[in-house]
Amino acid sequence: MPARPKITVVGAGNVGASVAQYAVEKNLGDVVLVDVVEGIPQGKALDLAQAGPIHGYDARLVGSNGYDETADSDIVVITAGLARKPGMTRDDLLFKNAEIVGSVVDQVVARSRNAILILVTNPLDAMVQLAWKKSGFPPQRVVGMAGILDSARFRTFIAWELGVSVENVHAFVLGGHGDTMVPLPRYSTVAGIPITELLPPARIAELVKRTASGGAEIVGLLKSGSAYYAPAASTVEMVEAILRDKKKILPCAAYLDGQYGVRGLYVGVPVKLGRAGVEQVIEITLTPEEQAAFDRSAAAVRELVTTLKL
């Protein structure tokens, strides 16, 4: 039997621990959970291991405060960083999380030269750019999780609105993660029917608005903490697409080299995810309005990247 793939998750908070949980439940590989807080990754790994007999997974789970156990990882998911608190902008997080992500990437890359990096830490698009620069990896092996989460939120609201199964709903979201994201209603469908045929424009606009502030809505409800089930599920969809070489088309923060009129920047676009990472950026024709919204989104990402002097 070939060895199970090795997945490292850096950051054993709610998102990281949920990524580990979903990954072993899908039998995607062995998991190393890394966190700076002593006992937390070890305790959560042990707890998850003890759910194995019930859920039927034999994955090895290891918790660590260091990085030696992460050596030769196939995939490294980076969730480490400070979570957004109520009233805090994504940009407030920028410098603190840049410092955290930069040091994580240094540690990980030194031990796993062939890994694929998946970034989850906010502000997402800028953190992916930072990880790519720091790692020295080819851009197809560094990718960010955002569009799947935004699409999942949009899909949920569309399904509720129309009273249909979420499985029938496909949604399309481009651009940076956050207030400047660009949902594309004409590419968002229910059983193949564009939602523009099923809902009035005003109602679609309301769903789009709720999707864009989806994270903030949850932060406001939880009071202390932010979303983690859906972000973790979105991340694991990427992990699965890569490790199982599914060639799945998913919206991710990927490096653009001229596509959509953007060069040298990580922005959310549909990509084909397989064993090599981002195997193709899927370019679709945008209307002038959509292109303008995408350009605004890319400009907001570039501003953060410039602030970080990347």
Which residues does the annotation mark as catalytic? Answer: 177
Sign of the CA dihedral with 5 first, then 6, 10, and 12 last = positive
Helix (H, G, I), strand (E, B) or coil at 112: coil
Closest of 175, 91, 166, 143 to residue 248, by C-alpha: 143
Q: Count CA atoms within 13 Å of residue 295 on its CB side.
A: 8
- Report how far apart the first and last C-alpha atoms of the chain are (Å, whole number): 43
Tokens describing residue 309: 């002097």
User: DSSP assignment, residue 242?
Assistant: H
205: CB partners within 8 A, 6+ apart: none
Helix (H, G, I), strand (E, B) or coil at 74: coil
C-alpha 306/C-alpha 296 separation (Å) is 15
User: DSSP assignment, residue 181?
Assistant: -
C-alpha 24/C-alpha 47 separation (Å) is 12
Q: For the chain, how many residues are written? A: 310
92: CB partners within 8 A, 6+ apart: 84
Contact between residue 135 and residue 142 where contact means Cβ atoms under 8 Å apart: yes
CB environment 100-129: b (16+ within 10 A), e (fewer): bbeebbebbbebbeebbbbbbbbbbbbbbb
C-alpha 229/C-alpha 176 separation (Å) is 21
